[in-house]
Chain A
Amino acid sequence: MRYNEKELQALSRQPAEKAAEIGMRVPKKGSVVKRRLVKLVVNFLFYFRTDEAEMLHLEQPPRQHCMIERTVDLEDDQEVFYFKSLILLMSQLEPERVSDQLPVTWTRSEPSWNLFESQTQYSSLCLQPIGALLLEHCRIAKEEPSGFSISFTEEPDRKYYFECSSEEQCQEWIDALRRASYEFMRRSLIFYRNEIQKMTGKDPLEQYGISEEARFQLNPH
């Protein structure tokens, strides 16, 4: 299924309804909770690596290309790729940090290294989310303690888990995520419209000239 990634990325850079660092676990075998920067924009939930918050402050272009051998234990290709890029960048911009940070061995070997050749590439990597979830036809449930899960109608047992820092934060997220769904907004609009019409005898959508629109009718099949 094709889509233009730039459109989705552009969306992820818009001001968020809500954003926070939260623990997240995806429904994949053996996955663990990872801290992510989670950002709600329209009906999409984006999640970013948290160390990118640091990287966003680094603005100098790479000064020279260099190769590094360092050993790190990583989960999958995407992580490996990302981490290598991160090391390369940091080695150019903050070399004294690199030697302290990385103690372990690469579990995957790769013959070539990719380097940042321009400021734009570096910025794109920094500002790019790891992933995006469309918040439609989903169920958002409270999970004890102070967490919640998102699951989708077709596979209710496959859950994305989130761990908040407090009950309050948790409830705020649950409410915000439910309100973010386009279908929820549509149902709300239909509900308010009908209730207002019942109580006042007037259709509130008439003033907008859209009272006949199919998408705001009760039950178009």
Chain B
Amino acid sequence: MRVGGSELTFPLLKGLATMKLHRKPVLSYLRGTGARAPDREGILLKKGTRNPSYQRRWFILRGNLLYYLENRRDRTPLGLILLDNCQVEPRDSTTEPYAFAILASAREGGRCYKLAAESKAELDGWLRALVRAGWSQLWELLQPLQEQYQRVCQEAGVEPQAPPQEDRFLDLPSSPAPSSFQELHQRFGEEIQALARSRATKKQTDLMEFG
């Protein structure tokens, strides 16, 4: 082992081996399967980091992720904001009346995203949606509901079921809920057949899962 002089100065560590956020899952989640619309989307003004002016961006909220695109029709987002451990609150702005901020992981060096809506209604809608978007919030909503379900099943003398694995099961038409199991079974059957026909040309083996 060769040891060099002890008074050497070296540049500050730049580009520490950066963590790799695998892109494809993130993009795939944004694009969705077509089965579910995003939780919220629309135009918001975003203040740039280097450029202090506001840029009009198309924002899409899905789950606990807030994506922003240059244009509505773009396939690839410009950026992504993780909404867990975020504070979302209105803020004062000299130029924008409906301004708000997303403070992401503020204690750990996260960013303050300065945004503005184009109307009061939009501002309120976004604030409401973003404040509730965290994963933990959904988890906290889910737990008591799950317990309630077990209890209700027990009281009714019914075996509790596991929630469905795949999204397709819940793609029911928005017409009235089926009144009997038979009807539900029939409807599922028809849906599955329709799916099978439309996917006959694609290599889809996972349709067999819920056969």
| Residues of A with C-beta under 8 A to B26 | 1, 134
Closest to A2 in B: B79
- A 39-76 to B, binary, CB cutoff 8 A, 1 in contact else 0: 00011000000000000000000001111111000000
Q: Is B25 an interface residue (CB 8 A)?
A: yes
| B28 close to A (CB within 8 Å) | yes
**CB interface residues, B 124-167, toward A, < 8 Å:** 132, 135-136, 138-139, 141-142, 145-146, 148-149, 152-153, 156, 158, 161, 163-165, 167
B2 within 8 A of A: yes
- Selected from A99, A184, A190, the residue in CB contact (under 8 A) with B1 is A99
Query: For A185, what are the chain B residues with a Cβ–Cβ distance below 8 Å?
Result: 135, 138-139, 142
Q: Does A109 lie at the interface of the complex (its beta carbon under 8 Å from any beta carbon of B)? A: no
What CA separation (Å) do A182 and B14 show in the bound complex?
35
Number of A residues with CB within 8 Å of any CB on chain B:
85
Say whether B111 faces chain A, with CB atoms less than 8 Å apart: yes
Question: Which residues of the other chain, B, contact A124 by a CB distance below 8 angstroms?
Answer: 16
Inter-chain contact A191/B170, CB cutoff 8 Å = yes
Which residue of chain B lies nearest to A26 when distances are taken between CB atoms in the complex? B22
Segment with Cβ contacts to A, from B81-89, B91-99, B115-123, B192-200: B81-89
Take A66-B3, A183-B167 as given contacts and tell me if A133 and B22 are in contact as well, using a CB distance cutoff of 8 Å.
Answer: yes
Please pick, from B24, B85, B145, B161, the residue contacting A154 in the complex, using a CB distance under 8 A: B24
Chain A residues whose CB sits within 8 angstroms of the CB of B25 once the complex forms: 133-138, 152
Q: A191 vs B132: C-alpha distance in the bound complex, in angstroms?
A: 20
A106 contacts the other chain (CB 8 A): no
B145 pairs with A66, CB closer than 8 A: no
Given contacts A131-B22, A136-B25, A138-B25, contact A189 B33 (CB under 8 A): no
- Assess the B19–A121 pair: CB atoms within 8 A: no
Once bound together, how far apart are the Cα atoms of A121 and B84, in whole Å? 25
Residues 54-91 of chain B: 1 if any A CB is under 8 Å from the residue's CB, otherwise 0?
00000000011100000000001111111011000000
Q: Which residues, 20 to 48 on A, are CB-close (under 8 Å) to B?
A: 42-43
CA distance A112 to B3 in the complex (A): 15
Q: Considering the chains assembled together, what is the distance between the CA atoms of A161 and B142 in angstroms?
A: 30
* Cβ of B13 under 8 Å from chain A: yes
B82 / chain A contacts, CB cutoff of 8 Å:
3-4, 7-8, 11
* Chain A window 184-202, contacts with chain B (Cβ cutoff 8 Å), 1 for yes, 0 for no: 1111111111111011100
Which of B17, B22, B173 has the most CB atoms of chain A within a 10 A radius of its CB? B17
Residues from chain A with a CB closer than 8 A to the CB of B139 are 185
B152 to chain A, nearest CB (A): 5
The one of A3, A137, A187 that contacts B170, using a Cβ cutoff of 8 Å: A187
Q: Does B18 contact A (CB under 8 A)?
A: yes
The distance from the CB of B111 to the nearest CB of chain A, in whole angstroms, is: 5
- Would you call A137 and B28 a contact (CB within 8 A)? yes
User: Is there contact, CB below 8 Å, between B12 and A117?
Assistant: yes
Complex Cα–Cα for A31 and B164 (A): 34
A66 touches B20 (CB 8 A): no
Residue ranges of A at the interface with B (Cβ–Cβ < 8 Å): 1-14, 42-43, 64-70, 78, 81-82, 85, 91, 98-99, 112-117, 121, 124-125, 128-139, 152-156, 158, 178, 182-196, 198-200, 204, 208, 210, 214-215, 218-221
10 A-B interface contacts by CB (under 8 A): A3-B21, A10-B109, A65-B6, A66-B4, A114-B11, A115-B10, A134-B21, A137-B29, A191-B164, A192-B148
